[in-house]
Structures are given as C-alpha cells and as structure tokens.
Amino acid sequence: MDDDSDLEDGKLRSFFPSSFGGDENGTNIDAQIDRTKRPTGTAQVKREKSVTKSSNGGSSSDEDDSDDDSDYDDEYPTSHELVFKTQEKAVTTITVDPAGSRMITGSTDCTIKLHDFASMTPTTLRAFKSVDPTASKTSANTETHPIHVAKFNPNSPSQVLVISATPQARILSRDGEVISEFQKGDMYLRDMNMTKGHISEITAGTWHPSNWDLFVTAGTDSTLRIWDVNSRMRQKAVIVHKSRQAGSAGRSRMTAVTWGSQAEGGNSLLVATALDGSLMLWSGEGPYNRPSAEIKDAHESGTWTSGVDISPDGRLVVTRGGDDTIKLWDTRKFKQPVNSVAHSSTSAQYPASNIQFSPNGASVITGSETGHLHILNPATLKPEIVTPVTPQSPLITVLWHEKLNQILTGSANAETHVLYNPKISTKGALMIVSKAPKRRHFDDDPTLTTDLSQGISGDMIINPGTGLAGIQAGNSYTSRHPTIGLTASGKSRDPRRPHLPATTPFSKNQPDEASVRKNIPLSSMRDEDPREALLKYAEKAEKDPMFTNAWKKTQPQTIYAKVSDDEAEEGPQKKKAKT
C-alpha cells in the first residue's frame, strides 16, 4: 500500500509545475546572444590592418590574424546588435538616460517613442508609449512637426529637452508628459535682443554640462538663446550672430550647437555653427557680447553643417559639414583645422545628422550616406572601423552611451540599431537578450482579441449561444473582408446583420411613410391646405367657443354700418384733400 501511495504522489508532483512564473524548460542565454551576432562586422578594415602588420615584418599567419581580429573586436561594442522598428519614418535623434534604463527616439513622423529596457524581452522589442510633443490638448490645432532633438538632462534624468520644427522648445518628463513650453518671440520686432524667444524654427539644442537648470537652443532667426527651466516666459540670455555674408542682411541660420566642459575645471565652452560657414566659440558662462574666437569659412558657405561636438577634455572640436568634409579643431589654436577628411554628407536631406566623440574621447563616431557606421581616430580622422548598419539607407544619428558602452544608431529606414559587445557592454541590449522570451498568451493573438482603441463595431459583437463555430465564422469573414465595420452612415457592412429601421426623420437614412405617421403626431397635416384645415373648426368654435366662453352672455351684438345702393356702386367715399 505504501509503495502504491508513493507512486501516486510522485505522479501527482510531476503533474504540477515546479515553480510558478518560471521557465520550466530553461532558457539558453548564450544561444540568444549568438542569434544577435552581426554576420558582417568590420572585415574590410581588419584586413587592411592585417596587411599593414604583415608588411612591417610581423607574423602573417591566419591564426595570428584571427587572434588580432578578436582582440580588435573587443575594443569596440559592434559585434552584436538589436533592431527596433518602432518609428514609421526616419529616426533623427536618440537619447538614453544617464542610468541607461530608458531610451527615447524621435523621428520625422512627428512622434517620440519611449522604450524601457527592463520591460522588454527578445520577442517584445517595442515602445511602451508614443507621444506627439507638439500636439495641444487645449486647442483644436492638430498640426504636427518633425522632431530634431531629444536629450535627457545629464544631471536630472527626469527632464527631456525636445526640439521640433517650431519656434518653441519643450521640456518633457521621462514618461513623455509636457512639463514646460517656452515662449515664442514677436516676429515683428527687428532687434532680436528684444524678443522673448525664437521667432522662427529651432534647429538644435543641448543641455549645460553641469548646471541642470540651463540649456541652449539654436534657431533660424540667427540667434542662440540660453534658457532657465524655471523661467519659461523669457530666455536668460541672447546671442545674436551677425553674418558678414553679402545679401544676408546680417542674419544667417544657426545649424548646430554644443555645450562642453573642460577637464581642468575651467569654464564651459559653447560652440555653434551657421549656414554662412562660420564656426564660433564662446565661454559657456559668459559674457556673450562677442565670440571668444570665430572662423568665418570653417565650412563652405551655404551648406548645412549638421554636426558639432566637443571632446570630454574640452581641447578638441569636431564638425561635420554639408560640404562633404569632417574637420578637427583645437580650442587653444582656434584658427585653422588640425585635420580635414572627405566624408559624404546627409545634411541636405536630414539636417539632424550628427557626429560625436566617444565617452573617453578616444574615438569619433558618425554615420554615412551608405548606411555605414564610421569609428574614426580623433588624431588623424582615419577610420578605425567601418561597419554596415543599414546598407543603402542613410545612417542619420549616432549615440555612444558611457554607462552601457553601447552604440545606438538611427537610420532613414525608420530602424534603431543598438550595437553592443557581451564582453564589454552592460545592461541595455544585453539585459534584453539575457531574458527568457515572453510566452505567447491568448491575448497576443490579434485575431482573437478586440482592439478598443478605435471603438467597437457591431460586427464584433457575438450573440450568446453562437459558440465557437460562430466565433470562427466571424473571424473567417473578417479575414476575407478587411474593410468590415461600419459605413459612414453607421450601417454595418456585414450582410448577416439585419438592417434596423430608422426611428426618427432626423437620421441620415430617409424613413418610410408608415414610420413617419406612427411616430410624428399630426404629420399628415403637412399635405393639407391650411385654410381648409382651419375652416373645419369654424362651426365648432362658434357653437362651443373655448377661449371666449367666459363673456359669451355679456358680449354685445356686432352692428355693421348700412351701405346704400349708390355707395355700393360707387365704393367708399374718398376724403377731400385739404386746401
């Protein structure tokens, strides 16, 4: 008996799961990471390095080359990648909070998408929220604008600076709610120092490197404006760029701006570029009356210099111009470029194309028109790695996150790629691929669930008693008729649904005559002669007056004047004219 009971208990235990919510079969994390490994990598640049090594007298064996390549791979986080396809159009900006837990992307589809790394799995790479920061909740204006810049505050991750193609900058919370909308200037004032804000589109913006209350914006009104997040009705300072270009009336569009710090603990540096080719440098703490240094022809006039960045030590400035060049400048000798190389520009079509120093300043990263990621040596501007990310689709924006040690890219085909290396990267994409895929739930099948975001139509209502056969029949009919739903008049397109007659003449459908006679009193009087309709009640009103019955007995008899025969023939006498 004891053996039989033990056997039954063993069968019962094997029937129940060993834990609730866990993955019973286990997850092979290494296999998931291997599936994200990039098939192409940087073979072309590696081969060039290997040839150089061999020509200098070193070992040229395949084994030594492969060892060298693996060491080279570990230096940059480009061996693996995750792809996010949450935007509908070109991705123009990417930002990640300092802790590396939340990613925000902006696009020319006029929305920003919020992604939380901790809540995503390998099978659920999607944004948890989509926001149009320019949409007004209090106005009927539904106009939308492309997003140029979205940046987390490096000192206060609860604030996100969002720059769209409008004259107003906005501060959003990390959950996408608009906290502040800054003042727009008066376009009829000629002196730009007197306006309270930009009078035309803002093109770029960034935060102060250490003071979390300040940020700067660059506009097409030829000004830089420094703002305090606690005062949205007027900027704190205005920097007016006076262009010397002929025919510009002293104004030129500002195209890019960056605010960097110095390693020695000195004042911060403010660097900006303009459409007339100028490159200007100010002390970040002021005064801003005139730039500390200015290069008039840093890039070709009339081309859009879309990218500018300052190295972490504040000694170097790199610019990416619309004249198909990348140039390196020394802030201590701000006259001529230290280096200049040719690089295809995408700023004509995508003005938000950027360039950036790595967190340690040992590399410079940028995208290209062919969809390749370029990692350059900052001393020579020669490529260390050129790797394809979105071939045949321009790579617009790049970001190298310091804590994650991962490179994020946004391309014109609406894809966001997160490049990482399992050996040197932490959290972020590595956290996602280290999770078990989400189990498919009944609610994950869209054919068996109802999307209530657009309301509910009559064809989606299942009558009681229809059972599974009715549900399957409804699904099959829906799959064969993708336009099923309600017409503009509110009538169902489903031929199985009976037509409901209109109950009032005010609906869009014309009611029948029987329905009108039944539901509208005295509706038949509309076809009668009104005089005849009133005379029908003349005899009844005379015999039984309703309103004059109270004074019927005291009412005097009406007496009319008698008319003679002569007067009847001649008509009434006419009054004599006064003389």
For residue 445, give every residue at least 6 positions away whose Cβ sits within 8 Å of its Cβ, in sequence order, or none: none
Q: For residue 369, count other CB atoms closer than 10 A to its CB.
A: 18
Q: How far is CA 425 from the centre of its chain?
A: 28
Range with the poorest average pLDDT among 156-165, 369-378, 451-460, 520-529: 451-460
Q: What is the DSSP letter of 117?
A: G
Average pLDDT of the chain? 81
Average of per-residue pLDDT across 510-524: 72
Enter the tokens of residue 189: 């004032």
As a three-state string, the secondary structure of 417-441 is: EEEECCCCCCCCHHHHHCCCCCCCC
For residue 289, give every residue at least 6 positions away whose Cβ sits within 8 Å of its Cβ, in sequence order, or none: none
> pLDDT tens digit string along 202-235?
999 999 998 989 999 999 999 999 999 999 999 9
> pLDDT tens digit string along 45-68?
544 454 444 434 444 444 455 455
Closest CA to 419 of 197, 94, 189: 94
Cα angle 399, 277, 325 (rounded to 5 degrees) comes to 50
> pLDDT tens digit string along 131-173?
999 876 545 556 789 999 999 999 888 999 999 999 999 999 9
Residue 128 φ then ψ, to 5°: -90, -10
- On the question of a cis peptide bond just before residue 287, with omega within 30 degrees of 0, the verdict is yes
> pLDDT tens digit string along 93-139?
999 999 999 999 999 999 999 999 999 999 899 999 999 998 765 45
Long-range contacts of 455-464 (CB under 8 A, 24+ apart): 457/484, 457/485, 457/486, 457/492, 458/486, 458/492, 458/494, 458/497, 459/484, 459/485, 459/492, 459/493, 459/494, 459/497
Q: For residue 90, count other CB atoms closer than 10 A to its CB.
A: 24
Residue 540 φ then ψ, to 5°: -65, -35
Give the pLDDT of residue 487: 60
Q: Which residues pair with 396 in a beta bridge?
A: none
Q: Tell which CATH architecture fits domain 74-438.
A: 7 Propeller (2.130)
Please give the Cα distance from 378 to 381 (Å, whole number). 5
